[in-house]
Structure 1
Amino acid sequence: MAAGPALWLGPLLLVSLWGSSAPASLLRRLREQIQRFQESSVLSLSLDTGAAALPKEGWLEQPLDPFNASDKRSFLQRYWINDQHWASQDGPVFLHLGGEGSLGPGSVMKGHPAALAPALRALVIGLEHRFYGLSIPAGGLTMAQLRFLSSRHALADVVSARLALSRLLNVSSSSPWVCFGGSYAGSLAAWARLKFPHLLFAAVASSAPVRAVLDFSSYNEVVSRSLTSAAIGGSPECRAAASSAFAEVEQRLRAGGAVRAALRAELGACASLGRAENRVELLEALQALVGGAVQYDGQAGAPLSVRQLCGLLLEGRSNGSRPDPYHGLRRAAQVVMHSLGQKCLSFSRAETLAQLRVTEPQVSGVGDRQWLYQTCTEFGFYVTCEDPTCPFSQLPALPSQLELCEQVFGLSTSSIAQAVAQTNSYYGGQTPGATHVLFVNGDTDPWHVLSVTQALGPSVSALLIPGASHCFDMAPERPSDSPSLHLGRQSIFQQLQTWLKLAKETPVRAGV
Structure 2
Amino acid sequence: MGVWPSRWLGLLLLVFLWGSSSPASLLRRLREHIQQFQESSGLGLSLSPEAVALPKEKWLEQPLDPFNASDGRSFLQRYWVNDQYWASQDGPVFLHLGGEGSLGPGSVMRGHPAALAPTWGALVIGLEHRFYGLSIPPGGLDMAQLRFLSSRHALADVVSARLALSRLFNVSSSSPWICFGGSYAGSLAAWARLKFPHLIFASVASSAPLRAVLDFSEYNEVVSRSLSTPAIGGSRECLAATSAAFAEVERRLRAGGAARAALRAELGACGSLDAVEDRAELLGALQALVGGAVQYDGQAGAPLSVRRLCGLLVGAGGNCSRPAPYHGLRRAVQVFTHSLGQRCLSFSRAEAVAQLRVTEPQVFGVGDRQWLYQTCTEFGFYVTCEVPRCPFSQLPALPSHLELCEQVFGLPTSSVAQAVAQTNSYYGGQTPGATQVLFVNGDTDPWHVLSVTGNLGPSETAILIPSGSHCLDMAPEKPSDSPSLHQGRQNISQQLQTWFRLAKESQVRVAV
TM-score normalised over the length of structure 1: 0.96
Give the match for residue 465 of structure 1.
465
Give the match for residue 437 of structure 2.
437
C-alpha distance in 1, partners of 2:240/2:22? 27
Give the match for residue 453 of structure 1.
453
Give the match for residue 226 of structure 2.
226
Give the match for residue 19 of structure 1.
19
What letter matches 1:326 in structure 2? Y
What letter matches 1:238 in structure 2? C
Moved more, 56-65 or 463-472: 56-65
Given that 1:90 and 1:175 are in contact with CA atoms closer than 8 Å, whether structure 2 keeps it comes out as yes
Give the match for residue 380 of structure 1.
380
What letter matches 1:293 in structure 2? A
Given that 2:186 and 2:207 are in contact with CA atoms closer than 8 Å, whether structure 1 keeps it comes out as yes
Give the match for residue 96 of structure 2.
96
* Match status 1:117 vs 2:117: yes
Alignment of 1:192-231 (within 5 A): 192-231=192-231
Give the match for residue 164 of structure 1.
164
What letter matches 1:346 in structure 2? S
Moved more, 412-421 or 45-54: 45-54
Task: State the Cα distance separating 1:364 from its structure 2 match.
Answer: 6.5
**Secondary structure of the residue that 2:99 maps to in structure 1?**
coil
CA gap of 1:374–1:271, structure 2 versus 1, over 3 A, is: same
**Secondary structure of the residue that 1:55 maps to in structure 2?**
coil
C-alpha distance in 1, partners of 2:508/2:224? 46
Given that 2:21 and 2:344 are in contact with CA atoms closer than 8 Å, whether structure 1 keeps it comes out as no
What letter matches 1:417 in structure 2? A
Task: State the Cα distance separating 1:4 from its structure 2 match.
Answer: 4.2
Task: State the Cα distance separating 1:55 from its structure 2 match.
Answer: 1.7
Given that 1:176 and 1:507 are in contact with CA atoms closer than 8 Å, whether structure 2 keeps it comes out as no
* Match status 1:475 vs 2:475: yes
Given that 1:444 and 1:466 are in contact with CA atoms closer than 8 Å, whether structure 2 keeps it comes out as yes
* Match status 1:334 vs 2:373: no
Task: State the Cα distance separating 1:44 from its structure 2 match.
Answer: 1.3
Given that 1:4 and 1:76 are in contact with CA atoms closer than 8 Å, whether structure 2 keeps it comes out as no
**Secondary structure of the residue that 2:421 maps to in structure 1?**
helix
Task: State the Cα distance separating 1:58 from its structure 2 match.
Answer: 1.0
1:100-152 C-alpha deviation (Å, 9 max, x unpaired): 00000000001000000011110000000000000000000000000000000
Number of residue pairs matched? 509
**Secondary structure of the residue that 1:129 maps to in structure 2?**
coil
Give the match for residue 155 of structure 1.
155
Alignment of 1:125-204 (within 5 A): 125-204=125-204
Give the match for residue 35 of structure 1.
35
CA gap of 1:129–1:319, structure 2 versus 1, over 3 A, is: closer
TM-score normalised over the length of structure 2: 0.96
C-alpha distance in 1, partners of 2:413/2:149? 20
Give the match for residue 277 of structure 2.
277
CA gap of 1:11–1:198, structure 2 versus 1, over 3 A, is: farther
C-alpha distance in 2, partners of 1:167/1:201? 17
Task: State the Cα distance separating 1:46 from its structure 2 match.
Answer: 8.6
What letter matches 2:276 in structure 1? A
Task: State the Cα distance separating 1:10 from its structure 2 match.
Answer: 5.5
**Secondary structure of the residue that 1:56 maps to in structure 2?**
coil
Task: State the Cα distance separating 1:57 from its structure 2 match.
Answer: 1.9
* Match status 1:417 vs 2:421: no
Given that 2:63 and 2:72 are in contact with CA atoms closer than 8 Å, whether structure 1 keeps it comes out as yes
What letter matches 1:274 in structure 2? D
Give the match for residue 293 of structure 2.
293
CA gap of 1:102–1:508, structure 2 versus 1, over 3 A, is: farther
Task: State the Cα distance separating 1:56 from its structure 2 match.
Answer: 3.4
Moved more, 121-130 or 314-323: 314-323
**Secondary structure of the residue that 1:481 maps to in structure 2?**
coil
What letter matches 1:151 in structure 2? S
Alignment of 1:220-369 (within 5 A): 220-317=220-317, 324-362=324-362, 365-369=365-369
**Secondary structure of the residue that 1:324 maps to in structure 2?**
helix
Task: State the Cα distance separating 1:226 from its structure 2 match.
Answer: 0.2
1:417-461 C-alpha deviation (Å, 9 max, x unpaired): 000000000000000010000000000000000000000000011
What letter matches 2:465 in structure 1? I
C-alpha distance in 1, partners of 2:337/2:505? 53
What letter matches 2:251 in structure 1? Q
Given that 1:134 and 1:365 are in contact with CA atoms closer than 8 Å, whether structure 2 keeps it comes out as no
1:310-369 C-alpha deviation (Å, 9 max, x unpaired): 000011416999970000001101111101111210000010001000000146641000
C-alpha distance in 2, partners of 1:498/1:443? 25
Task: State the Cα distance separating 1:271 from its structure 2 match.
Answer: 1.9
**Secondary structure of the residue that 1:61 maps to in structure 2?**
strand
Given that 1:175 and 1:508 are in contact with CA atoms closer than 8 Å, whether structure 2 keeps it comes out as no
Given that 1:19 and 1:341 are in contact with CA atoms closer than 8 Å, whether structure 2 keeps it comes out as no
C-alpha distance in 1, partners of 2:435/2:129? 24
What letter matches 2:273 in structure 1? L
Give the match for residue 389 of structure 1.
389
CA gap of 1:52–1:312, structure 2 versus 1, over 3 A, is: closer
CA gap of 1:47–1:444, structure 2 versus 1, over 3 A, is: farther
Task: State the Cα distance separating 1:202 from its structure 2 match.
Answer: 0.1
The sequence identity of aligned pairs, in percent, is 83
1:288-321 C-alpha deviation (Å, 9 max, x unpaired): 0000000000001100000000000011416999
CA gap of 1:333–1:362, structure 2 versus 1, over 3 A, is: farther
